Structures are given as structure tokens and as C-alpha cells.
A and B are shown apart, each in its own frame.
Chain A
Amino acid sequence: MRRYPSLWWEVLRLSWRTVPGYTAGTLGVIAASVVSVAAVGLTMRATLDATARGSLVTALVGAAGVALAYTLTLVVQDLTDDCVNTVADRTGRLGLHPAVHRDINSVEGLEHLERSDFLDRVSIVRRSTGEIARSAWNALLSLSNLLKLLVTVALLGSVHPLLLVLVLLAAVPIWCNHRGQLLVQRAEVAGAEPYRLQQHLFETVASAEGGKEVRTAGAADRLVALQEEAWDDAVRVRFRARVGAALWNAAGWTVFVAAFAGAIALVVYRASVGAGGVGDLVLTVMMAVSLRQTMQSTVAATVAAAGSRRVVEPYLWLRAYVRAQRERAVAADPPPPVLGRGLSLDRVDFTYPGTDRKALDGVTVDLPAGAVVAVVGEYGSGKTTLVKLLLALYEPDSGSVRLDGADLAGISVPAWRRRCSAVFQDFGRFRIRFGETVGIGDLPRIDDADALGAAVHAADAGGLVERLPEGMDSQLGRELGGTDLSEGQWQRTALARGSMRADPLLFVLDEPTASLDAHSEEAIFRRYADRARVYGKRTGAVTVVVSHRFSTVAGADLILVMDRGRIVESGDHRELLARGGTYAELYGIQARAYAPGSTG
């Protein structure tokens, strides 16, 4: 278990870099808390002994000491909470939060976002940066508690060596508590699924998006009933575990209190034979009471530490994953400035991690430089997977993707991506200002009004911009005080974003017009076809259009028909029709639907 201490050490160093003042202050407060443990007991003994002796000045100094010692204890208690919360919160938000988001986003592949078991962990980590930072400080608090125990031991030992046994017996409640916490931990995991379910149901009922259908279907009562059920399920499991833990704790404390009573009896006995007096008795009781407090906070810290496993484990996993991905991505060759021959896939096999069906199965194909290539096929035939491999969002399991004959695996992914542009079927909906949501398609030109204007025109989005309250500066998303866009309008933002880069070598359009009306679709395709030709001449750029609408692809230079991960037909429109295969059949269905006089 060396992983945890090294993580904690790293977090503490990060705290120091992020909020040096707070880090130093918090360390100081924790150190003061160790000192304060001894203060009350010692001053009390001095005061009562002096009182018994009748020495006024010593007694008064002692009494002032008692007042100050209690003040110190109380203030340190409050301050420890405040400081640890603050330092953990700020380290989390200002230090870990950006680092974690950078890590997640800088992984070049998509596996961690598309595999639900990976995505679960990633989601936990990015929500829990505060807790992760907190875990390091909890570890430090545990350490300080250990020091407090040592101080307590030393003082008790100074009364009578036999009292040291009390410390050994203090291990009993700590051990019992540990047993109980194991129960609680298991219940946290067992309750996670119903807890997530009730979160999902609540968000569905209480959001405007989900609320529409909830209303039209009259589903609110049923959904809230299911939400309550899921909540109760989660609570029941976790409550039972806590009852179990409480029984362990009660047993542990009973043993300890019995031992403590014995210890006091010992001190009283010593007093009865003339050894030691009121002062020793008070010191013993005070130290035993503070032993109890120390153990309570030890217990609280172990509870917190146990809870933090839930977030630290996924975090450690993410770091290992990111490291492994970075080590793989060492290729540094630049992509060619222009494509001479084009892109090709050579016997490419690909299976999505965590599934057992080949998404691509021995695909070999040339995409000639300057060509518009259409990929068609039914759902799940591997069209989108093919373009994801071209964009290096996944690597082939075997075989290779080649740029002018050079293996893509040997080329720097960021450099290659700078020469790509893409509009995906499930494009991003960035709720920022309209101009920005377009401009991020080419960050260096995010403020370039001409470039933005051209991209907006390419996506046939000029009318949309005119209707926005503040034009290109309009904030998107009503919850952020801006405007909501319709599905088709969002699609235009994605198309405009995809048109920002001026000199791509690869341009991918994945079902780019599914939500657009006929006019826009036509206008956009004409513009994109022109663009493809211009790019193609200039840099040998390849444009890949993915679609299951055959009307949109007939003009392509090369059409690839995919079925179950294989390319089953390829050629231009005319060749494929003449062949009378799948393409001809599916094209026929759609063509007939548009044929004059046909009513299906």
C-alpha cells in the first residue's frame, strides 16, 4: 500500500504550491492541537495541587493556565475544521481540478469516455477533486492523532507506569471501529446503484428537458414513487451497516471504559496509601478524557479515510491509465504537408474494448488524395468506427492506417489532428457564446471575424445568427441566461465549427445534416462539395462523408458500402447501381419513395 502515502505526499506538495499560506497555517494549527492535548491536564493538576497546598500565586497562575488551555483547545478545534476544509477545497478546486480535467482531456483516444465502466470511474474522479485533496489532510490528521496518543501515554505513565496498559486497551475500540467501518464501506458500494438511480429519476423529473415527456405522459407520480423506492433501498442497506458498526463500537467502548474505571481506582488506591494526591487524580481523569477525544477523532479520521477509498481508487486508476496512454503516444513525426497519394487502411481489424464483436473486420481500402469518399451502410455496420480510426480516436487492433504510405501510428497525434476537421453525428453542444462555439474549431482564429463569418456561411447559419439577440456574442443555453437552440440549430453550430480550419488534410462529415430541412441540406452539401474540391486541389485533402441517406452521397468520387464491419461494395454511384447489390437495393427503396406517382 505504498500508493496512498505517495499520493498524499504529492497532494500536500500541491497544496503548498497552490495555497502556500493556508498550507503553512493548517500545519501550524495541527501542530498546536498536539500541544493542546497536554495543556489542560497539566494546568489542572498544578492548580489543584497548589490549592491543596494553599499557595495562592501558583494556584492563580495555574487557573489562568487552565483558562488559556481550554481556550487553546477550543480555538484549535474550530480552526482545524475550518483550515482543513478550506485548504482541501482550494487545493481541490485550484490544483487538482484543472490537473484532472487536463489529464482526462489529454488522453488522445476515446475509450475512457465510451466504455461505461471506465466512464463511471472518470466521472467519480472529476467530481471528487476536493475529497481527494481532503484524504491527504485526513491522513495528516490521523498522524497528528497518533502523536496526541503518545503525549497522553507519556503523561499517564508519569502518574504510574501501570496506567500505560490503558493505552494498549485503547486499541480495542479502534479495532472494533475498524470492523464496523468495513461493514459501512461495503454498504456504500451496495447502495451506490439505487442511489444513482434515484439521482437519475430526480434529474429527469426536475429538468425542463425530461419534464416535457414526464408531463405529456403523466409519469411524474410513478417516477417520484420509483425515486422514493430507490432512495429507501439505498438508505436501508446503509442504515443496517451503520447499526452493525454501532454494535461493534459499543462493545469496544465498554471494554475501554471498564479499563478506565480500573485505572482511576488504581490512582485512588495509591492516594489512599498516601502516594499522589488530588492533582494526580485530576490529571489521570483529564488525560483519560482527552484520550477518549483523541480516539474519537482518530476514529473520525479513519472513517473519512475509508470513505475516501471510493474516490482515491478511481483516481489512482485514472493516473495509471493516463500514464500508460502517454507512454504509448510517443510518436513524433509530423504529418506530410500535402497528401500525394492519400489515406489508406491496410487489413484493419478493430473490436471496441469490452465488447466481443469486430466493429471492423479486415478492412483494406484506398482513399485517394483529393477525393470525396462516401461511406454508407446500415446502423452498426462500422461507418463511424472507420472515421474514428482515421482521426486516431482509436488505434487498430491489427493492420494499419497510412498517410501517403506512412503508418499513422508513427505520426504525432496532436500534429495530425491539427490537419483534420470533423463534424460528428453526436457533435458537442457547447453552451458558451455563439461565436466561440464556432471559433473553437480553430483556436488561433477564435476572434477572427472574417473566418467566423465564412464558417457561419458554410453552415448556412447566417439566418440563425441574425435571429440571436446579440448575434455572434449571444450566450447559448437558457440556464446560463442565454438562448436555447433547436436540434437543427445546434447542428449548424457544429457544421460551422467544422469549417473553421483552412487547410485540413482530412475532413469528416458524419451524418452532418440529420436534423436539417431539405433546403439547408442541399445548400450545405453544395458548399461542402465545393470546399472539398478546393481543399482537394490545394492539399490533396480527403473528404469523408458518412451517411445512411443515399441521396446525399451519389455525387461522391468513391462510395464504400459497409456491412458488419466489412466493405462489401465500393465504386462510384454508377458502378454500384450497375452491380445490383446492397447499394442498388437500398438506393432503390429511397429512390422509389421519391419517384413521381408512387405512394409507397
Chain B
Amino acid sequence: MGFVRNRTRLLRTLWRAGPVPFLALFAVRLAERLVPPLAALALAALVTEIAPPRPDGPELFTAALVPVLLLALVLLAGHLGESAAAPLEYLVKSRVDGAHRSRVARTAASAPGIAALESPEVRRLLREVRADPDHGVETTPGDGAVAVLKWLCGLLGAVVTCAILLRYAWWAVPLVLLPVIVNRALRFRQSSAVTDRWRLAIKGEMHADVWRNATVSPAEGKDVRIFGLTDWLVERMQGHIREANEPLWTHVTRVIRLQWLSAVLMVSGLLPVYLLVTADAVGGAATVTVQTAVLAAGWSLFQSLGSALELHHMAGAARVARSTYRLRALLAEPEAIGGDGRAEPGTAVPDRVRVIRFEGVRFVYPGTDREVLGGVDLEIRTDELLAVVGLNGAGKSTLIKLLSGLYRPTSGRITADGADIAEMDPVEWRTRLSVIFQDFNRYELSARENVLLGAAARDGTAPGRRGADEEADLRAAAADAGFAPVLERLPDGWETPLARSRTGGVDLSGGQWQQLTLTRALYAVRRGADLIVADEPTAHLDVRTEFELFGRLAERRRSTGIVLISHRLSTVRRADRIVLLEAGRITETGTHEELMERGGAYAEMFAVQARRFRTEEEDPA
């Protein structure tokens, strides 16, 4: 009985809106749904008063006054209920959706590794269950929840209508009700099929998204203009859209064509009862009261078992619920982190990590067969500046992902002061690290929040978390990262939102953002991180700023280790130790001088970069 289970599940989600709005909405919807049968009853009462044989003159008028008032009251109740339903429904729906979105976000963040989030199926599911109607015509759990409530109230309305039919004859009830049930069951199946086909269209729509996004991106936009892509890309995009939606559209057209069947079912439900009750009324076997009530109320059964939209929303929300369940299962799987997922977190993280070792680490990205790392042995000390250099694709960024536990090694292990990090609580382990990714996050939040989020795990979630200490740490981190001058120019200092789309917000340049992420990292260090891991942290800075910044970073290396990934060998040479990563292995280790002396691949790389400078110097004009 998936039908019943889905509905009870939807009803349960309603409780997330809070009992008061939920019960209020229930009451209001019920009042609204009782209007058609009750209005029919009031009308019938009125007809009884004025149908012949009837008293004449003022007696009639006074006798009819009660049903008139009754009718007015019923209608008024309906209208007031409807007015109240709008805000209540909005509140309930929004609360359900808000709670759902938070849960989905938490679920997405709950997998310790990143492999699952990178898988195409998870991405598709996330898109399907994100419950963001701003982004399209998707059905949300909130839609489903309020629809199921409306539907339930409709059922209660139907009970009253059936009672009216019962006053005429018992067999009138099944006579009307059967076609109603067939009709709605048909419609519900069609709605489910529409939802299924809509899901199938998502994949093609994602291909179309490439061009949709290119249309509003200044980066892709430049290529589009220089290379004259407009017509080609529009054709391409529309091709994807047509191809993806064809099955959906064919089905929708069929559903619409099938409306004649609905019409036939309605006529077959209403016609016999309406004819019989009229014949009986003319013949005197039934009163005109019963006749009026049956005629006025009978049809509403076809409405009370759910409108097309309600059915569509219920079907859609049930689908979202199933997909959310599937998403949660996928993210909880052990391979969500990659590797063999063997160990349960059990080992304590050392208070102050001194040495991290990669021991024979091999790594293959899930779903591929190329070995990115092929047996890496590497020691990282938290009192030195270690530079990792290598060609593009040598595996440098993968090294960071393994170190921070976003993936687990396919074989081999990574230890911190001797203990395998795979056996540690990943959240706890990561508080010892401060990672600057090449594509770092640019939160559309205040400058303060942007920095604080670097050490969120330690600071907790309360706003204004740490008072005066926080201020001091922020100020010191900003000064160290060279962010202070940028900060001074922000209109509202630390509280300035870093996005122009926010009120009073500003956009930072690429270089300014890099200074902010360094502030973020240095703040994390002040909050207890032992090691900074930075992937090309100065690529967008100009020569002078990069030079100064590196100096400041290098000064702290006795208290905090630094792993620096960079192509700029002029920067790298000042490191305590340099390792060269080549085709997934470490092939050279040593100081700049040692490596230059050795005359290997590093020396060659350095020579290539230095050549132009050197030829000029050796050639004094």
C-alpha cells in the first residue's frame, strides 16, 4: 500500500511546520471543503420553504429567513476560511520546505568524503530534491504536504455529500462514488507518470544548463562573442531541451487527450442519479428538498477527491521523498569516502600534531582506472615550510584531498604522529588543518563571517561566538595576511557583505579574495590548526604583494607547518624543503640548493623559469 504509506509520510512532514499552524490550516481547509455540501443543504432547506404547497405572504418570508441566514453563514465561513488559508498554507509549506532544505544540506555535508558528492547520481538527486521552486517547476515536500491535507479535508467533505445522497437512496452513493474513484485513480497514475518522465528529462536539461549558464557568465560570454557562438549554442541548447522533454511532452498531450474519458465517467456517475431523483420528485416519491440537495451536492464528489494539481503535488512530493531517501542511503555508504572504508573512527587525534607521514599511498579516483598517486612516501613536519612542485596533473591537488580526508588512499596509509588518520574522527582531524583550495569558497556573507568560517568547527555555531578574543584574533589574522588595508576601505568594515547583490555589499577582486582566504587560514591557525595547506594561494596577487606575503607566512613556520603547492619556483625556493611530484611519485626531495646541485627535473624546471631573467643579467646592455 504505497499509496497510503506515501500519504502518511507526507502528513508526518506537516508536523515539522509546528502544531499550531498545522491544526489551524486543517480547520480552515475543512471548513472550506464542507461549503459545497452544506450550501446545498441550506439551499434545499430554502427551496422547501418556498416550494408549493407554501404559505403566502409574510409567513413565508419569516420562515425562509432562517435558511437564508444559514446559507449566508456557510458561504461566509467558506470565504473567511479561504482568506485565512492563504497565509497559513504559505507558512506551513515554507516551514516544511525550509526544514527539508536544511536536512538535505546536512545530509549532503554528512558524508565525510567528497567522492559521493562528485558522483553524477548524487548530483542529479540533489538537484531533484533541493525544493527550490525559484529554479523551475519542481514539486516540493511542502507542496505535497499541504496538498495531502487539502485532499484529506476533501474526503471529509465527500462523507457529508454521501450522507446527502443517502437521504435519497443508499444505492445512489456507490453509483456516483465508483466513477469518481476510477476517475481519480486514473488521474493519480497519470500524475505519477508525468513526474517520472520529468525526472528523466533532468539529464538532458543539465546539458542545456551548460549553455544557459554560459549565457549569463562573463567568462563564457567573452568566448561566445569572440568566436561568434550565439546561433550555434542556441541551436545546441534547444536540441537538448527538445530531446530531453520529448517523452514528457508526448505523455502530457496524451493525458490531455484522455480528458474525454473523465467526461464520460462524470456523466455516467451523475446522469442516472440526477434523472432518477428528478423522476421521483415529479412522481412524488422524493421531496423537492431531497432533489435540490442531490442535484446541488452530487457533483462536488468529483471535486472532493482531489484536484489535478493536488494529485500532481502529492505524486511529485512522494517522488521527492523517495529520492531523498535514496540520496541519504548513497551518502551514507562506505564508498562515499572512496577507498575501502574499512575503519571506524576510534583513534584520538593528537593535541599537537608534529609529523604527518604518507606511507606507500596509492590512489585511483572512483570510477576511473588511472592511478593518480602510485606509492607516495612523504613526511610533513609541522615546524617547516614544505613546498610541493610538479607538472600539471602530477597529483598535487589529490595529495591535499587525501591529507584532509576528503578521499581515502586506495592503498597505503597516512599517519599523524604514528596513528592512521583513517581511524580518527574526520571532523576532529580537520581542526588541525587549515586548507586553502585553489577554488576557495566565496561566501556571500560579511567579511567577518567569511573569516570565521575558516575555524567553524572549533568556534561552534552561535553568533558573536567568542567576544573580545575573536576581535583580537581577527585583527591579527587580517594584519598578517595583508588584508587590513582592504578592510579599511570596506564601507562597513568587518560587517560588510562580500557580494554586490547584498544590501551594502561589495565585490572583491581576485587578489583581494586571495588575501581574505589567507586571513581565513591564519585565523584558523590562531584557533589551533597546526598545519596550513595552500594550493597556489598567490596566483592572483601581483609580484610585490606576493613577495611580502610569502615573507610573512614564512616567519610563522616554526609554530605552524606550511605545505605550499606552487608553480612559481621563485617563491618555492625559499621553502625549508622541496619535494617534486612526478607522475604520482615523489622523485626528488631536498632544499633548493640541494636540488639544484643534483641537476634533476627540479633544476631543469627552475632553469626554464629563470632562463629569461638570467640571459638578461648575463648580458648587461
Please tell me the number of chain B residues within 8 Å of chain A, measured between CB atoms. 194
* Cβ-defined partner of B57 (8 Å) among A101, A104, A211, A272: A272
Return the 8 tightest CB-CB contacts between A and B, nearest first.
A218-B457, A593-B570, A488-B392, A220-B109, A428-B220, A253-B79, A242-B87, A594-B610
* Cβ-defined partner of A424 (8 Å) among B222, B231, B443: B222
Contact check, A278 vs B108: say whether CB atoms are below 8 A apart.
no
* Cβ-defined partner of B392 (8 Å) among A63, A218, A247, A515: A515
Question: What is the CB-to-nearest-CB distance from B313 to chain A, in angstroms, rounded to a whole number?
Answer: 12
Question: What is the CB-to-nearest-CB distance from A498 to chain B, in angstroms, rounded to a whole number?
Answer: 9
Q: Can you name 19 A-B residue pairings with CB atoms under 8 Å?
A: A120-B501, A193-B503, A206-B105, A218-B431, A232-B98, A249-B79, A249-B82, A378-B542, A417-B228, A431-B210, A443-B227, A480-B210, A486-B393, A488-B392, A515-B536, A515-B567, A577-B616, A577-B621, A595-B613
Q: In the complex, A467 Cα to B394 Cα: how many Å?
A: 13
A306 at the interface (CB under 8 A from B): no
A205 at the interface (CB under 8 A from B): yes
B605 at the interface (CB under 8 A from A): yes
Q: In the complex, A440 Cα to B211 Cα: how many Å?
A: 13
* Cβ-defined partner of A239 (8 Å) among B64, B91, B390: B91
Contact check, A51 vs B105: say whether CB atoms are below 8 A apart.
no
What residues of B have a CB within 8 angstroms of the CB of A108 in the complex? 225
Contact check, B234 vs A261: say whether CB atoms are below 8 A apart.
no
B579 at the interface (CB under 8 A from A): no
Measured CB to CB, the nearest residue on chain A to B533 is: A216
B585 at the interface (CB under 8 A from A): no
* Cβ-defined partner of B214 (8 Å) among A98, A201, A238, A430: A430
Q: In the complex, A214 Cα to B401 Cα: how many Å?
A: 13
With A285-B43, A443-B232 in contact, is A487–B551 under 8 Å at CB?
A: no
B397 at the interface (CB under 8 A from A): yes
Contact check, A222 vs B225: say whether CB atoms are below 8 A apart.
no
A14 at the interface (CB under 8 A from B): no
A170 at the interface (CB under 8 A from B): no
Measured CB to CB, the nearest residue on chain B to A475 is: B207
Question: What is the CB-to-nearest-CB distance from A131 to chain B, in angstroms, rounded to a whole number?
Answer: 10
* Cβ-defined partner of B223 (8 Å) among A94, A101, A497: A497
Contact check, B613 vs A590: say whether CB atoms are below 8 A apart.
yes
Contact check, A52 vs B51: say whether CB atoms are below 8 A apart.
yes
What residues of B have a CB within 8 angstroms of the CB of A487 in the complex? 438-439
With A393-B222, A577-B621 in contact, is A250–B84 under 8 Å at CB?
A: yes
A1 at the interface (CB under 8 A from B): no
Contact check, A594 vs B291: say whether CB atoms are below 8 A apart.
no
* Cβ-defined partner of A94 (8 Å) among B43, B238, B510, B621: B238
Contact check, A586 vs B544: say whether CB atoms are below 8 A apart.
yes
Question: What is the CB-to-nearest-CB distance from B545 to chain A, in angstroms, rounded to a whole number?
Answer: 8
A148 at the interface (CB under 8 A from B): no
What residues of A have a CB within 8 angstroms of the CB of B440 in the complex? 213
Contact check, A253 vs B238: say whether CB atoms are below 8 A apart.
no
Question: What is the CB-to-nearest-CB distance from B71 to chain A, in angstroms, rounded to a whole number?
Answer: 7
With A105-B234, A427-B223, A440-B229 in contact, is A517–B270 under 8 Å at CB?
A: no
Interface residues on A, range: 35 or more
Contact check, A126 vs B256: say whether CB atoms are below 8 A apart.
no
With A197-B444, A215-B430, A268-B60 in contact, is A517–B267 under 8 Å at CB?
A: no
What residues of B have a CB within 8 angstroms of the CB of A245 in the complex? 86-87
A82 at the interface (CB under 8 A from B): yes
A330 at the interface (CB under 8 A from B): no
Quick one: CB contact mask for A452-474 with B, threshold 8 Å, 1 for yes?
A: 00000000000110010100000
Q: In the complex, A333 Cα to B209 Cα: how many Å?
A: 36
Measured CB to CB, the nearest residue on chain B to A224 is: B105
Which of B52, B215, B220 gathers most chain A CB within 10 Å? Answer: B215
What residues of B have a CB within 8 angstroms of the CB of A414 in the complex? 228
Question: What is the CB-to-nearest-CB distance from B438 to chain A, in angstroms, rounded to a whole number?
Answer: 6
Given contacts A223-B105, A417-B226, 18 further A-B contacts (CB under 8 A): A64-B274, A71-B267, A74-B262, A75-B263, A82-B255, A94-B241, A202-B132, A208-B117, A213-B437, A231-B94, A243-B87, A249-B86, A274-B56, A277-B52, A282-B292, A428-B221, A486-B397, A518-B608
Question: What is the CB-to-nearest-CB distance from A123 to chain B, in angstroms, rounded to a whole number?
Answer: 5
A90 at the interface (CB under 8 A from B): yes
Report B68-95 residues with CB < 8 Å from chain A CB. 68-69, 71-72, 75-76, 79-80, 82-84, 86-87, 90-91, 94-95
* Cβ-defined partner of A218 (8 Å) among B108, B307, B456: B456
